[in-house]
């Protein structure tokens, strides 16, 4: 049975119950509903702020799973160069938080 959530925030909150609201809101901003099921976008959004959120989420998740920064491409570097200080801080926060949360989830799955 598939649970359908009305909003991306509700889906992210259900998936990651112990994370701060600003993280939930940021991840929800790069989600899309496909046939009633929410998921993170397949490609980065066009605007700098959301693109940095998307890249941080993808890089942090990949780092925990595979142990490297392979998703960090020139595109990420160029986007960071165009970003203002608050967007760079958001990227750092998102990368750090995603890495922490991915490590928690990996440990949880190992224990099961």
pLDDT digits (tens, 9 = 90+) for 68-101: 999 999 999 999 999 999 999 999 999 999 999 9
pTM of structure: 0.90
CA 47 to each of CA 73, 90, 99: distance values in angstroms, whole numbers, following the listed order: 17, 14, 23
Q: In whole angstroms, what is the distance from residue 58 CA to residue 66 CA?
A: 12
Task: Tell me the pLDDT band of 1, cut-offs 50, 70 and 90.
Answer: low
Residue 35 has pLDDT above 90, yes or no: no
The domain locations on the chain are 8-111
Neighbours of 86 (CB within 10 A): 9
| Residues in the chain, overall count | 112
Structure tokens at 40: 């993170």
């Amino acid at each position: 049975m598939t649970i359908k959530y009305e909003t991306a925030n509700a889906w992210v909150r259900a998936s990651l119950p112990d994370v701060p609201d600003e993280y939930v809101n940021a991840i929800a901003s790069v989600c899309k509903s496909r046939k009633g099921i929410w998921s993170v976008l397949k490609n980065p959004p066009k605007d700098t702020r959301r693109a940095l959120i998307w890249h941080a989420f993808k890089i942090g998740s990949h780092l925990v799973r595979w142990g490297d920064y392979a998703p960090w491409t020139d595109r990420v570097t160029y986007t960071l160069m165009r970003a203002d200080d608050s967007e760079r801080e958001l990227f750092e926060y998102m990368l750090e938080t995603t890495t922490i949360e991915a490590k928690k989830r990996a440990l949880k799955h190992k224990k099961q």
